[in-house]
Structure 1
Amino acid sequence: MFAVLKTGGKQYKVQAGDVLRVEKLSAAAGDKVQFNDILMVGSTLGMPLVDGACVQAEVIDQIKADKVITYVKRRRKHSSQRTRGHRQQLTLLRVTDVLEKGADKTGVMAAVGARTAGAQKPATAAKPAKAEAAASVGTRPSNLLDAARDGQADDLKLISGVGPKLEELLHENGVYHFDQIAAWKKKEIEYMDDKLSFHGRIERDEWIKQAKELAKGKKD
């Protein structure tokens, strides 16, 4: 089983036994670390993270990447030129386990970047759904889907204010049909507005009213 993890601003597709290099972690050779920012496990796609999933790995060594040479020129100063070399510090890992559930119960040290304050911390998995809901604004809609019904999504771009990029973002968050949007109440609108950083767009552009009319027209 494979997983897609995020660390150091990059994403890696891994499975047990893989050896990979990531930006330097605060860990020593032989330590076991756990990555909790998991974007995908097998066929399960996170929104944006998969709750309770993790990837565990063993630190093989702290290494440096190949030297990268950069040149700095100064115009109108006798064409002086300075050569600089840089070797990125990396951590070499071997993936040991990919877990779909139970990340918060393993007790394995969380993988923390060397630049992050508080070098080593106990493993902290993604917040459980109930805790996440409590911390979020509004209420998560109960009608979000993993995929469009019958594999055919409505053309959400028919809603004024929704372009191709917003439609893609809605799909990524489980919204494929007009009747889903039409059914949202105030708290659910607040949740989606905050979740997708729409800054009041849903109410400002009257998405609910438009979606109801489009859903009704589709039935007719």
Structure 2
Amino acid sequence: MRAGGRQEKVEVGTIVTMDRVKAGEDGKVQLVPVLLVDGDKITSDAKSLAKVTVTAEVLEDLRGPKIVIQKFKNKTGYKKRQGHRQELTRVKVTGIK
């Protein structure tokens, strides 16, 4: 499945942490499949994957670790310090149909 800018390998029951996603009123979210492996059968073309749906339940919204960004230029007196925390969502895959 595609989660933000990354791809994750999932099964039913897998818990995945991904970029922040808005859940529906029922707390569920639809995810985009990239590749489907069912035993020996592998599906990767877009037309067949359009029929496949991956549903997940949102467990919690959280924030990632603090990242400190520092910029410095020698002999000019330029210093800059900045921080960032990524907004994340933890989801549990409930179905692949």
| TM-score normalised by the chain length of structure 2 | 0.81
Cα–Cα, structure 1 residues 83 and 30, in superposed 2: closer, same or farther, change >3 Å?
Answer: farther
The equivalent residue for 2:27 is 31
Cα separation, 1, equivalents of 2:6 and 2:84: 20
Instruction: For 2:56, give the aligned amino acid.
Output: A
The equivalent residue for 1:10 is 6
- RMSD of aligned C-alpha atoms? 2.1
Instruction: For 2:57, give the aligned amino acid.
Output: E
Larger relative CO (CA 8 A, sep 6+): 1 or 2? 2
Instruction: For 1:52, give the aligned amino acid.
Output: K
The equivalent residue for 2:93 is 95
Spell out, residue by residue over 1:159-209, the C-alpha distance to the aligned partner (whole angstroms, 9 max, x if none).
xxxxxxxxxxxxxxxxxxxxxxxxxxxxxxxxxxxxxxxxxxxxxxxxxxx
Cα separation, 2, equivalents of 1:86 and 1:48: 36
Higher strand share: 2
Aligned length: 93
Percent sequence identity over aligned pairs: 25
Per-residue deviation, 1:22? 1.0
Larger of the two Rg values belongs to structure: 1
Per-residue deviation, 1:66? 0.8
Cα–Cα, structure 1 residues 18 and 29, in superposed 2: closer, same or farther, change >3 Å?
Answer: farther
The equivalent residue for 2:36 is 41
> Which secondary structure does the structure 2 equivalent of 1:70 belong to?
strand
Gaps of 5+ in 2: none
Spell out, residue by residue over 1:114-133, the C-alpha distance to the aligned partner (whole angstroms, 9 max, x if none).
xxxxxxxxxxxxxxxxxxxx
Summarize the alignment of residues 140-179 of structure 1 with structure 2, pairs less than 5 Å apart.
none
Cα separation, 2, equivalents of 1:34 and 1:75: 49
Spell out, residue by residue over 1:80-132, the C-alpha distance to the aligned partner (whole angstroms, 9 max, x if none).
42222111001110111111xxxxxxxxxxxxxxxxxxxxxxxxxxxxxxxxx
Per-residue deviation, 1:29? 9.0
Cα separation, 1, equivalents of 2:70 and 2:94: 41
Higher helix share: 1
Summarize the alignment of residues 68-107 of structure 1 with structure 2, pairs less than 5 Å apart.
68-78=67-77, 80-99=78-97
Q: Is the 8 A contact 1:29 1:62 kept in 2?
A: no
Q: Is the 8 A contact 1:30 1:59 kept in 2?
A: no
